[in-house]
Structure 1
Amino acid sequence: MPQHASNTRVCRNCDGFATAAITIGTRHADGSRVTLRVTCPACKGTGRTAPVGVVRAGR
């Protein structure tokens, strides 16, 4: 099982799975399913978060 590097933090909202493919039930003409790709709004699709000391707050 792969291990995460110690200097990067995994996003708490998506647990590192930043993009999900969701089927909406309909099919294309070739028979494949129509899917939507949705990214995590907290990490913006990266799967990682910035360390607490790096985040800028205030002015």
Structure 2
Amino acid sequence: MPQHAQITRVCRDCDGFATAAITIGTRRHDGTRVTLRVACPTCKGTGRTAPAGVVRAGR
């Protein structure tokens, strides 16, 4: 039987990988690296986009 594809609205800018951990180069006393967590500015860290009907347009 054919299977239906799921319709998911993945963010175009981050392709669903909404947050990234970036090392800044320094290390802590225990040897681990200091990292920054950065969220996608388009989807605000959710990995998905809102449907067109949900987005509010106007002033």
Give the TM-score normalised by the residue count of structure 1. Answer: 0.84
SS across alignment from 1:43 = coil
Give the TM-score normalised by the residue count of structure 2. Answer: 0.84
Q: Cα offset for 1:32?
A: 0.5
SS across alignment from 2:38 = strand
Aligned to 2:45: 45
SS across alignment from 1:20 = strand
Cα deviations by residue, 1:2-45 (Å, 9 ceiling, x for unpaired) = xx831x30001111000000000000000010000000111110
Identity of aligned residues (%): 82
Moved segments of 4+, more than 4 Å: none
Aligned to 1:15: 15
Question: Whose strand proportion is higher, 1 or 2?
Answer: 1
Q: Can you give the 5+ residue segments of structure 1 that lack an aligned partner in the other structure? A: none
SS across alignment from 1:38 = strand
Q: Can you give the 5+ residue segments of structure 2 that lack an aligned partner in the other structure? A: none
Larger radius of gyration: 2
